[in-house]
Amino acid sequence: MSDDKSAAAYWAANLRIIKICLAIWALVSFGFAILLRPVLQMLPLSIGGTDLGFWFAQQGSILTFIALIFYYTWYMNRLDREFGVDEE
C-alpha cells in the first residue's frame, strides 16, 4: 500500500512539473512571440537591434526551451533521489 502511494506521489509530481514546463514554453513561444508581440513591440527594450517580440519569436523561445530542458533534468534527478528511484 505504501508503494502505491509513493508511486502515485512520484507521478503526480512528475506530471505537475511537465505541465508547468509546457505552460511556460507555450507562454513564451506562442504568447510572447505571437499574441503579445504588439505589446512587446511598444516597449523601449530591444535585444540585438530588434524589438522584444521579434526576439522572442526568433531566439527567446528556443533559449527558453533549452533552459526548460536543463531545469527538467535537474528537477527529475532530485525527484528520483527523493523517491529512491534514481539510477545510482
Helix or strand or coil: residue 50?
strand
User: What percentage of the chain carries pLDDT values higher than 70?
Assistant: 98
When pLDDT is averaged across residues 2-15 and rounded to a whole number, the result is 88
Q: Give strand pairing partners of 46.
A: 51
Distance CA(21)–CA(11), nearest Å, equals: 15
Q: Is residue 8's pLDDT more than 70?
A: yes
**What pLDDT is recorded for position 41?**
79
Distance CA(63)–CA(22), nearest Å, equals: 14
**What pLDDT is recorded for position 36?**
83
Cβ(85)–Cβ(78) below 8 Å = no
Domain borders along the chain are 9-82
When pLDDT is averaged across residues 12-24 and rounded to a whole number, the result is 96
Helix or strand or coil: residue 33?
helix
What's this model's pTM, rounded to 2 decimal places?
0.79
Reported as a single tens digit per residue, the pLDDT across 25-68 is 999 888 888 888 888 778 787 777 878 888 878 888 899 999 99
Cβ(50)–Cβ(41) below 8 Å = no
Cβ atoms < 10 Å from Cβ of 21: 18
